């Protein structure tokens, strides 16, 4: 999700006007960034309803920030950061995360035992397998992987979003890619 702020906030003398202006700005931001935020949360949580809920919560926290509104160039990074952190917390709390792990394992096992070695079938199902494998990643690795490899952010941008060092991003990225390769190797045939 990348873009610029649609409006700039002009300093208003009247408090009422200022608040109305802020509310209007907030609505513009929500309308512009709701879809990318839900998509980001969905990649983290693998559940659309949870993704919607976390995206709304991210907007609420964004609205309640003390330094609201932030600078225009910071909006995207801030929204991403809040969303990813909320999703990581959610993953850690959800028992479903463990079910995802076992569910993902079941998906992979099912396909492993399938007699259908047709490449076209595996191609179509690769998406499901990759999603199942990504669901198995630890929250931090998943966050780095989703931001870097799926959403296409640079290592520096990913580090800014996650408020960590670039080295940390590289390490988690390496681990995520290594794990995915390991889990998906049986299905990556010539």
Partner 1 sequence: MNCSNAKKELPLLAHDELESAKRDALKQHLNGCTACQSLAKQYGYLAEQVRKLPAPQESEGFYDTFFQEIMERVSKNEQRVAPEWQSKIGLGWLALKPRMAFAGVGALLVLVLSFFLSNHFYFSSKKQRTTLEAYLERSDYRGLARAMQNTKQQEKLLNDLVPVRLFIDGLRKLERLPFSQGFLARLLTESVANTLVGRPQRRSQVFRDYFKNESLDFKAVLKALSKIDRPGARVSVQELIKWKRGSA
CB of 188 to partner 1, least distance (A): 4
Q: Answer yes or no whether residue 25 interacts with partner 1 by CB under 8 A.
A: no
Q: Answer yes or no whether residue 185 interacts with partner 1 by CB under 8 A.
A: yes
Q: Among residues 56, 101, 168, 179, which is the contact residue for partner 1, using CB under 8 A?
A: 56
- Measured CA to CA, the distance from residue 146 to residue 157 in angstroms comes to 13
Closer Cβ to partner 1, 34 or 138, answer by number: 34
**Sequence-distant contacts of 121-129: CB under 8 A, at least 24 apart:** 122/187, 122/189, 126/187, 129/184, 129/187
Q: Among residues 9, 20, 60, 121, which is the contact residue for partner 1, using CB under 8 A?
A: 60
List the interface residues with partner 1, window 163-182 (CB under 8 A). Answer: 174, 177-178, 180-181
Q: Under rule CB under 8 A, how many of the chain's residues touch partner 1?
A: 33
Which of the stretches 9-17, 36-44, 83-91, 113-121 binds partner 1 when contact is defined by CB under 8 A? 36-44
DSSP conformation class of 9: P
Please check whether residue 88 is in contact with residue 82, taking contact to mean a CB–CB distance below 8 angstroms. no
CB of 180 to partner 1, least distance (A): 7
Cα-based distances in Å from 3 to 53, 73, 95, 145: 23, 9, 35, 21
Which of the stretches 30-38, 66-74, 98-106, 160-168 binds partner 1 when contact is defined by CB under 8 A? 30-38
Please report how many Cα atoms fall inside a 13 Å half-sphere around the Cα of residue 86, on the Cβ side. Answer: 25
- Measured CA to CA, the distance from residue 19 to residue 17 in angstroms comes to 5
Q: Among residues 22, 32, 131, 179, which is the contact residue for partner 1, using CB under 8 A?
A: 131
Closer Cβ to partner 1, 63 or 105, answer by number: 63
How many whole angstroms from its chain centre is CA 134? 12
Conformational region of residue 15, where left means phi above 0, alpha means psi within -120 to 50, and beta covers everything else: alpha
Site of interaction with partner 1 (CB under 8 A): 27, 30-31, 34-35, 38-39, 42-43, 48, 51-52, 56, 59-60, 63-64, 126-127, 130-131, 149-150, 152, 174, 177-178, 180-181, 184-185, 188, 190
């Amino acid at each position: 999700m990348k873009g610029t702020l649609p409006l700039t906030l002009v300093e208003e003398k009247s408090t009422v006007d200022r608040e109305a202006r802020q509310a209007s700005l907030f609505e513009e931001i929500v309308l512009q960034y709701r879809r990318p935020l839900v998509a980001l949360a969905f990649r983290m949580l693998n559940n659309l309803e949870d993704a919607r809920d976390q995206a709304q919560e991210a907007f609420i926290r964004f609205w309640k920030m003390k330094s609201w509104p932030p600078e225009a160039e910071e909006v995207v990074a801030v929204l991403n950061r809040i969303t990813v952190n909320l999703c990581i917390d959610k993953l850690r709390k959800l028992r479903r995360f463990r079910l995802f792990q076992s569910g993902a394992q079941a998906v992979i096992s099912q396909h492993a035992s399938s007699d259908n070695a047709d490449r076209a079938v595996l191609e179509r199902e690769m998406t499901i397998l990759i999603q199942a494998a990504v669901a198995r990643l630890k929250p931090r690795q998943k966050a780095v992987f989703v931001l870097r490899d799926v959403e296409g952010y640079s290592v520096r941008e990913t580090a800014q979003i996650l408020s960590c060092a670039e080295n940390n991003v590289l390490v988690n990225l390496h681990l995520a890619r290594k794990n995915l390769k390991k889990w998906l190797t049986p299905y990556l045939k010539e």
